[in-house]
Amino acid sequence: MAAPRGTYTFWRWPAAAAGATSLAWDLTVLRDPGPTTYFWAHQFSFEGGDVGYFGLQAHDLRDDGSRGRLAVFSIWSATGCGDNPGCHGGVEGEPFWTCRLGYDWRAGRPYRLRLALRQRRWWSASVTDLDAGVETLVGSLQVPRRWGGLDLAWRGSSVWTEFYGANVPGGLAAPEQVPHARVRFGEPAANELTAPSGHANQLGGGDWDNSLVTDDDRGVVHQMGIPLDEG
């Protein structure tokens, strides 16, 4: 199936970030793509464990059966969940747990996404509307006992944009069918104060050159579905 090129930023972290118990970053949707299945997320790993991600989604199925904007927090090989009835396990038979919360983010507003170890084995994800000063708990996931903190110093972390072209009726046939989305990921921080030591922007595989990743003075800007006359 035809698809746009994915957008990625890979963050490198200093030794001081080893075993971090929190990770936070700002996310601002600069251009709203409308009701389509975009997902903007930060992916991370655990010491001695598996991978997780946390981000905002433009439009998808919510746990109550409605469709709309969401915050989504997931960890592979987690062992349980709490703090949200929209948390559940088992996706296509994989050892995977996820929390999906209806969250009506607004374009142009900055949101701080934060992952933190709440208590032993339990990691919580929250979104704060920085303009309103309101923090919302998305949910908590329990990890195996043998896992440590975040494995940033060795395995790093990454932010990315994903577009579910498979959800477009009839599939994608041309680049102009990809809604134009533009978001800014702010530079992340581990344990509140530790900054990355560097980063690299990259485009993934795809069929059309209508995606772009650039730096600005507040972080990195990811675009997908850029009109060809603007690219």
pLDDT mean values, one per 10 residues, the chain (231 residues): 89 98 98 93 98 95 85 94 79 78 96 95 97 96 96 98 71 80 98 98 92 96 88 49
Sort 96 into a burial class: Cβ within 10 Å, 0-12 / 13-18 / 19+: middle
Q: What is the pLDDT of residue 168?
A: 62
- CA 186 – CA 179 distance, rounded (Å): 23
With H, G, I as helix, E, B as strand and everything else as coil, classify residue 208: strand
Q: What is the pLDDT of residue 148?
A: 97
Q: What is the pLDDT of residue 207?
A: 86
Domain ranges of the chain: 7-224
What fold, for 7-224? Answer: Jelly Rolls (2.60.120)
Q: What is the pLDDT of residue 109?
A: 98
Q: What is the pLDDT of residue 175?
A: 83
Q: What is the pLDDT of residue 93?
A: 58
